[in-house]
Amino acid sequence: MKIGVPKEIKNHEYRVGIVPSAARELTMQGHDVYIEHNAGLGSGFSNDDYIAAGAAILDSADEVFATADMIVKVKEPLAVERAKLRHDQILFTYLHLAPDLAQTEDLLKSGAVCIAYETVTDDKGGLPLLAPMSEVAGRMSVQAGAMALEKSHGGCGMLLGGVPGVEPAKVVIIGGGMVGTNAAQIAVGMGAEVVVLDRSVEALRRINAQFGAAVTTVYSTADAIERYVTAADLVIGGVLIPGAQAPKLVTKAMVKKMKPGSAIVDVAIDQGGCVETSHATTHQAPTYIVDDVVHYCVANMPGAVARTSTFALNNVTLPYIMKLARMGYKEALLDDKHLLAGLNVMHGNLTCKEVAESHNLAYTPALSLLQ
């Protein structure tokens, strides 16, 4: 199969879909790998690194899209990239379609076979291709929150961990999954006072077992969210409903009651955000202020630590890339129900029920298109 890797063009996105070592694995299996000129520079890989791995370098994204049977990316294709897709071409990347009607419509028009990293599942009900970026984003969220609390960034001027004789910041984490657990780990390490809210008692037990008395666990209700959010110095939103828009758990009224100079980091922003006052920002302009509360809502947080993120992502995507390349998408999807769960769009049909419900569009079961 011909596999193409274009350079990411989202604002301050430095990750790349395939690293040289992964390109070598694919070329050793007899596949052709085409990398756009300098696509890997942001993650520390030169054209020569890819050439040494057996890949070919193409001058432009146009050439990559025109040549490849499968496009492997990191972030969702922007409009200019979506226009390059063609019927029956495989697109394998993060899509996050639920809050993005324009992208959904363009992918439907393209006729391409679009498989989203974030809805591929595993035997344990997890999301293995989302997990490493959730780990990164969870850890980064505390760094970002600590920065947002600094006076020069609009915050109240509070050090997250305090110092002897001065109390630390109160960090409230909504969601005890991969994002929330990793955020708690860093917040505890920095000396903050940490509360995690979740509706899963099992998740709360797991966090309690991991952190003990260093983290307060609270069953999540509207009342609990309001009580803890309005008393927090930093709120981290790590809520996820696979494939669907994130629920708006923190309302405008709650934000209005928060302390002046407090901060919100909405990691759920890729799926629309779990805070009513959130809207997506970029690494170039990461924050804005609503009701004296600093909001950090960067939609591609892991892109800022591209070297770490790219390797972490490739570690989990490569087996699926190899399977798609070896078997073709029809056989691969029929053979693997977990990969099949990643199919969001195929030949003008929407095959992810949660996305269809988000946009009030027709849903087509994936198996009906493959058999």
Whether 48 sits among the annotated catalytic residues: the reply is: no
Q: List, in order, residues 6 or more apart from 2 with CB less than 8 Å away.
A: 31, 32, 34, 67, 68, 69, 70
Task: Report in angstroms the alpha-carbon separations of 274 from 120, 180, 194, 254, 352.
Answer: 22, 13, 19, 12, 21
Whether 87 sits among the annotated catalytic residues: the reply is: no
Cα–Cα distance measured from residue 287 to residue 76, given in angstroms and rounded to the nearest whole number: 22
Strand 293-296 relative to strand 263-266, pairing: parallel
Catalytic residue among 96, 153, 198, 266: 96
Strand partners, 281: 298
Closest by Cα among 226, 270, 14 to 118: 270
Cα–Cα distance measured from residue 297 to residue 204, given in angstroms and rounded to the nearest whole number: 25
Helical pair 306-335 and 20-28, crossing angle rounded to 10 deg: 30
Catalytic residue among 49, 106, 198, 270: 270
How open is the CA angle 126-130-134, to the nearest 5 degrees?
105
Cα–Cα distance measured from residue 143 to residue 137, given in angstroms and rounded to the nearest whole number: 10
Catalytic (active-site) positions: 96, 270
